[in-house]
Amino acid sequence: MKAKRSILNLVFGLGSQLITIVLSIFIPRLIMINYGSEANGLVSSVVQIIAYLALLEAGVGAASLQALYKPIAQNNRESVNSILSATAMYYKKTGFYYLLSVIAIAAIYPFAVKSELGMWQVMGIVLFNGLGGAINYYYQGKFRVYLQAEGKSYVDTSVVTIGNIINNLVRIVLLLQSVDIVLVQASYFAVTLLQMVAFHIYKNRHYKWLDFNKEPDLAAINQKNFVLVHELSYMIFRNTDVLVLTFFTNLKIVSVYVMYNMIFTIIDNIVNTVNTSVRFALGHSYHEGRAKFIKLYDAYELYFMAFVFSLMTVAYILILPFITLYTSGVNDVDYVLYWIPVLFVVQKLLINARSSANNVINIAGHFKNTLTRTLLESGINLAASLILVQFLGIYGVLLGTVAALLYRSTDIILYANRRLLERSPWITFRRWLTNIAVFIGIIYLNNLVGYSFDSYLSVILGAFVLGIIILPVYIAVASILEREVFMHSLSLFRGLGVKMRAKFVPGKVKVSG
Whether residue 180 is found in the same domain as residue 257:
no
The number of distinct structural domains making up the chain is 2
**Which of 194, 214, 238 represents a domain boundary (last residue)?**
238
Whether residue 356 is found in the same domain as residue 213:
no
Model confidence pLDDT, tens digit, residues 462-509: 989 999 999 999 999 999 999 988 888 787 666 554 444 444 344 443
d(CA 140, CA 161): 16
pLDDT confidence tier of residue 429, bands split at 50, 70 and 90: very high
Model confidence pLDDT, tens digit, residues 204-236: 888 888 888 888 887 777 766 677 676 766 666
The DSSP string of 204-242 is: HHH-TT--TTS---GGGGTTHHHHHHHHHHHHHHHHHHH
Whether residue 211 is found in the same domain as residue 281:
no
pLDDT at residue 472, as a whole number: 95
| Assigned domain for 322 exists | yes
Whether residue 344 is found in the same domain as residue 488:
yes
**Which of 218, 238, 258 represents a domain boundary (last residue)?**
238
- Is this prediction's pTM over 0.95? no
| Assigned domain for 379 exists | no
Mean pLDDT for 114-135 is 77
Q: Domain range holding 268?
A: 249-365+425-503
3-state helix vs strand vs coil in the chain, percent to 5: 85, 0, 15
Q: What is the DSSP letter of 454?
A: -
pLDDT at residue 513, as a whole number: 34
Whether residue 108 is found in the same domain as residue 255:
no
Whether residue 114 is found in the same domain as residue 141:
yes
Whether residue 432 is found in the same domain as residue 491:
yes
Kindly give the residue spans of alpha helices, DSSP state H, lying in 287-393: 290-326, 340-352, 355-364, 371-392
**Which of 181, 216, 238 represents a domain boundary (last residue)?**
238
Whether residue 468 is found in the same domain as residue 330:
yes
Model confidence pLDDT, tens digit, residues 53-79: 766 665 566 777 777 877 877 788 888
Whether residue 231 is found in the same domain as residue 253:
no
pLDDT at residue 510, as a whole number: 38
pLDDT at residue 208, as a whole number: 85
| Assigned domain for 25 exists | yes
| Assigned domain for 494 exists | yes
Model confidence pLDDT, tens digit, residues 329-354: 777 777 888 889 999 999 999 988 78
